[in-house]
Structure 1
């Protein structure tokens, strides 16, 4: 069995942010949510600013997560 990787065509490429993030939120014994995406932070933002904005956005999407514990967070430049 061989692995086949399809390369996206130029028209299929979606714009991405300058950074990729992954965050896991957990309400112990009740709910765990891991999400990821990309974004471009405004000029002058810190890692903490990005952390807070991402966490707030996830809580807006799911209010149950507003008081969840952050069990994992990664933020890296979105380039190889």
Structure 2
């Protein structure tokens, strides 16, 4: 009997940021977008700073979504 070792495609914790975020934005009746990632904010950054940076990133990548409504936002320490 042979066994196979499954390799995980999950990045090692040390390559991930200190925080995990998820955001959903919507242009009502037109389009919605959900994004998530990890990030290590600069020392002294606030939750609002991170929220603003993420919104600005979305706007830079997709100018139409700059005026989108935020339906959901979560920022949590990236640890169990």
Taking structure 1 as the reference length, what is the TM-score of the superposition? 0.84
Q: Tell me how large the CA RMSD over aligned residues is.
A: 1.8
Aligned length: 73
Q: Which residue of 2 aligns with 1:55?
A: 55
> Please, which moves more after superposition, 39-48 or 13-22?
13-22
- Give the deviation of 1:13 after TM superposition: 3.1
1:28 is the counterpart of 2:36: no
What are the ranges of 5 or more consecutive residues in structure 2 without an aligned counterpart?
A: 1-5
Whole-Å Cα distance in 1 between the matches of residues 12 and 31 of structure 2?
Answer: 33
What are the ranges of 5 or more consecutive residues in structure 1 without an aligned counterpart?
A: 1-5
Taking structure 2 as the reference length, what is the TM-score of the superposition? 0.84
Alignment of 1:1-80 (within 5 A): 6=6, 8=8, 13=12, 15-80=15-80
Q: Which runs of 4+ in 1 moved over 3 A?
A: 6-9
